[in-house]
Amino acid sequence: MTCSGDQLLEMLSALANPHRLRILATLSSMGRTYVSQLAREIGISRPLLHLHLRKLEEAGLVTSRLEISPDGKALNFFEVAPFAIELTPAAIAEAAPSLTATSRHSDS
């Protein structure tokens, strides 16, 4: 799996957080779940979980789908995306050149 430097960086940033690692681990073990249930399972507040899920989804590591349960409740189900990132010096050397500047002062 070869991806752009920026995309790699976005995934790494999404993964570099204990809560988000736990979220992925839980989703990987339990399979699909909806937000409130996942918040209870992990033991963090819903707004906080929502924040982390958004970051994970933007990085393409999880996917969501809104579904209507039999009793009419709108549930937002999340599941892990089947990613596989190989992190080696060579892979990083290949991806790094395509990193955009992203500096806020100057890049002369």
Q: Which residues are at the interface with DNA (CB under 7 A)?
A: 13, 16-17, 19, 34-37, 44-48, 50-52, 54-55, 64, 66, 71-76, 104-105
Helix (H, G, I), strand (E, B) or coil at 82: coil
Among 3, 7, 22, 34, binds a copy of itself (CB under 8 A): 22
| 2 near a copy of itself, rule: CB under 8 A | no
Which of 2, 16, 74, 105 touches a copy of itself by CB under 8 A?
16
For residues 1-39, one letter each, b for 16 or more C-beta atoms within 10 angstroms of the residue's C-beta and e for the rest, the string is eebeeeebbbbeebbeeeebeebbebbeeeebbbbeebb
- Which of 78, 83, 74 is closest to 38 using CA atoms? 78
User: Residue numbers of the site for a copy of itself (CB under 8 A)?
Assistant: 5, 8-9, 12-13, 15-18, 21-22, 24-29, 43, 80, 82-90, 92-93, 95-97, 99, 102, 107
